[in-house]
Chain A
Amino acid sequence: MSDLAAEILIAVGLAFDLFGCIGLVRLPDVYNRVQAATKCVTLGTCLILAGTAVYGITGAMSIKAALCAVFLLLTSPVAAHAIARGAYKSGVRLWEGSVIDRYGEEVHPAGPPAERIEPAAQTEHTVAAGREPHE
């Protein structure tokens, strides 16, 4: 019975992991990718860890899986926040379909730093031309 519950948890977790990875590939700019990937993969892996805890082959394994899930829930949003802030400060622009950018208006009103990188149009073009974009 608990085996079945564990397998359902692990299967749902795997599905969320895959959604997160598909989002990582499909979405248009780095901020959207951080969002989709962090949310889905964090919850998916936590569900897999919960499934491992429910399987409970040894008591120690359950305790460690639960601890690992707590660590993951605490650390991964911090990592996502750090990446998003680093990306903004290193000059990656929002996707051109974005509707609003209060952060740019209120915190960096002087305009973009010198080495702004166009995420979508320009680099797609360079990759299509067979060269790696310089960074």
Chain B
Amino acid sequence: MTPFLAIVAGGLLLGAFLCLYRIGRGPTAPDRTVAIDILGTLVVGFCCVMAIWTGQDFYMNIAIAWALLSFIGTIALAKYLEGRQYNE
């Protein structure tokens, strides 16, 4: 791993810890939902770092799948917050 990629990975890890702080601290359920959504997006960035480091392009498949699944999960959580109405 080149020093540059190590710095990027470290920075993303720092961001992930800030998200974890918000998940743990709350104070309301939507706050936690936002932090989970952002954590998912940071993981996509981390997949890019892994792809460049190893030169394997299947990491980008993981990134795409992760982005879409994280989106679906966030929508489901937001619908749940809206008052348990899944009929729209």
Q: In the complex they form, do A and B come into direct contact, defined as C-beta atoms under 8 angstroms apart?
A: yes
Q: List chain A positions with a Cβ less than 8 A from chain B.
A: 7, 10-11, 13-14, 17-18, 20-22, 24-25, 30, 33-34, 37-38, 41-42, 44-45, 48-49, 51-52, 55, 57-58, 60-61, 64-65, 67-68, 71-72, 75-76, 78-80, 82-83, 85-87, 89-90, 92, 117, 119, 123-124, 127, 132-133, 135
Residues B12-51 near A (CB distance < 8 A): 12, 14-16, 18-19, 21-22, 25-31, 33-35, 37-38, 41-42, 44-45, 48-49, 51
- 17 A–B contacts, CB within 8 A, in A order: A10-B8, A17-B12, A21-B14, A21-B42, A37-B35, A48-B45, A49-B44, A60-B57, A61-B51, A76-B41, A83-B33, A83-B37, A90-B29, A92-B28, A117-B28, A123-B28, A127-B27
Shortest B46–chain A CB gap in Å is 9
Bound complex: CA A110 to CA B57 (Å): 54
**Using Cβ atoms and an 8 Å threshold, which residues of chain B touch A135?**
26, 28-29
Query: Which chain B residue has the least Cβ–Cβ distance from A132?
Result: B26
Contact check, B68 vs A24: say whether CB atoms are below 8 A apart: no
